[in-house]
Amino acid sequence: MRISWKQYLKQKLRKPSEFYSVGIAFTGEQVLLCALKKTDSRIEWVLDASFTHQTWAQGLADYVKAHKLQGTSCYFTLTSHWYKVHQIEKPDVAEDELHAALKWPLQEAIGSSTEMVYDFADMPVQVAGQNKVMVVAIARKEIEKLTQKIFDADLVLQSITVEELATIELMQDSNDAVITLVQEHGEDVVLNIVKNKQLYFSRRLKGLENIGSFTEAELDMGIIDSLTVQLQRSMDFFESQLRQAPVKQILVKLDTAHMPFVCNVIAETMGIPCDLMQPELTCSQQLNFKMASFSCLGAAFTKASENAVGKELSHEA
């Protein structure tokens, strides 16, 4: 993507934004936006918006202009409709050659000749005898289209992530393993096992896209039982195959108004504390975490992690 000198100078000469960051989440149904502000040591969620896929580009540009978000650092995330995740055997090459070496096994795993943009991450622990990396891939033409529209809206794109990783940004750092169940509206439930803000295990629980339409009684007639079965299977794999200490807590953010009820039943069934997931930021009075997109908020909150790493590096230097 290229920009003109006029556009480049416009960015450089622009006044600093009053906002801390903007998060954008591309889901299967819509495009979501949130904006954060920072005062002293407090980071607050202050703006929230949504757009249809058909009108999001113009809607985003108009919203940015109306709320004076120009020049704000932007972080966007994608739900599973947009990308593929594969665990691929790590090629036996030097670290600086690893990204290029993953191209062919990734193409074989995807089974398509579509040109992909991809990135990878090492797994914190492996099943005995395995040496794999997690690779996330999206079609190049799709990522170019999305990034261009964000640039056209006068936001400063900093990074791109996926929902499995974005929601981790909202968690407290803990030496104990924690399971999170997080769901965007109308999407699969994403089950993560996280320790020290690192992703140890992730899977998608399908068939719960319409969970918001069920009453407490209907949830108690088999749906929560299905959740607990998947939770137990994931915990068994984490402890036996990955040889990790037991999970100590379950955190929930599902697309239902009955989350407290779900938490209570899970806690009673599993014998582990189960609580509502609360982001590590404050919320303005006109907004509500219960209806928030945690993928969107997590993307915006990525800046806090980047700043924390920057401070650590400067202290080490």
- Considering only residues 192 and 317, tell me which one the structure prediction assigns the higher pLDDT: 192
Whether 290 shows a pLDDT value over 90: the answer reads no
Maximum mean pLDDT: which of 80-84, 119-123, 165-169? 165-169
Decide if 293 is inside a domain. yes
- Is it the case that residue 199 has pLDDT exceeding 70? yes
- Detail the DSSP E strand segments found in 196-272: 198-205, 249-253
d(CA 297, CA 184): 12
> Would the pLDDT of 227 be above 70?
yes
Residue 260 in domain: yes
The answer to whether residue 316 scores a pLDDT higher than 90 is: no
- Is residue 40 domain-shared with residue 160, that is, in the same domain? yes
Answer yes or no: do 75 and 114 share one domain: no
- Exposure pattern of 286-303 as b/e (b: 16+ CB <10 Å)? ebebeebbbbbbbbbbbb
Same domain, 248 and 146: no
CATH number at residue 24: 3.30.420.10
Higher pLDDT residue, 106 or 11?
Answer: 106
DSSP 221: I
Asked whether residue 34 is assigned to any structural domain, the reply reads yes
290 plus 191 within the same structural domain: no
* Domain count within the chain: 3
- The sign of the dihedral angle between the CA atoms of 253, 165, 115, 143 is positive
- Does pLDDT of 317 surpass 60? no
Cα dihedral 14, 313, 161, 202, rounded to 10, equals -160
pLDDT confidence band for 304 (50 / 70 / 90): confident
Question: Residue 55 pLDDT more than 90?
Answer: yes
User: Quick one: 118 and 245 in the same domain?
Assistant: no
Q: Is residue 212 part of a domain?
A: yes
The yes-or-no verdict on residue 311 having pLDDT over 50 is no
Q: For residue range 144-155, what is the model confidence (pLDDT) as tens digits?
A: 999 999 999 999
Look at residue 111 in the predicted model and tell me its pLDDT.
83
Specify whether 110 is located in the same domain as 244.
Answer: no
pLDDT at 305: 78
Q: Is the model's pLDDT at 124 over the cut of 50? A: yes
Q: Which phi and psi angles does 259 have, rounded to 5°?
A: -60, -40
* 239-278: pLDDT as tens digits: 999 999 999 999 999 999 999 999 999 999 999 999 999 9
Structural domain including 259 reads: 172-276
Is residue 68, in this structure, part of any structural domain at all? yes
Task: Sort 100 into a burial class: Cβ within 10 Å, 0-12 / 13-18 / 19+.
Answer: exposed
- Whether residue 8 lies inside any domain: the answer is no
Region 103-123: mean pLDDT is: 88
What is the model's pLDDT at position 25? 96
What average pLDDT does the segment 5-32 reach?
Answer: 80
Same domain, 118 and 176: no
**What local confidence, expressed as pLDDT, does residue 13 receive?**
57
Same domain flag for 185 and 291: no
Is residue 105 assigned to a domain? Answer: yes
pLDDT-based confidence at residue 158 (cuts at 50, 70, 90): very high
Q: How confident is the model at residue 4 (pLDDT cuts 50, 70, 90)?
A: low
Q: Is the residue at 5 inside a domain?
A: no
Please state, in angstroms and rounded to a whole number, the distance separating the CA atoms of residues 102 and 134.
11
207 and 263 part of one domain: yes
For position 313, what pLDDT does the model report? 29
- In the predicted structure, residue 82 carries a pLDDT above the cut 80: yes
pLDDT exceeds 90 at position 216: yes
Residues 188 and 226 in one domain: yes
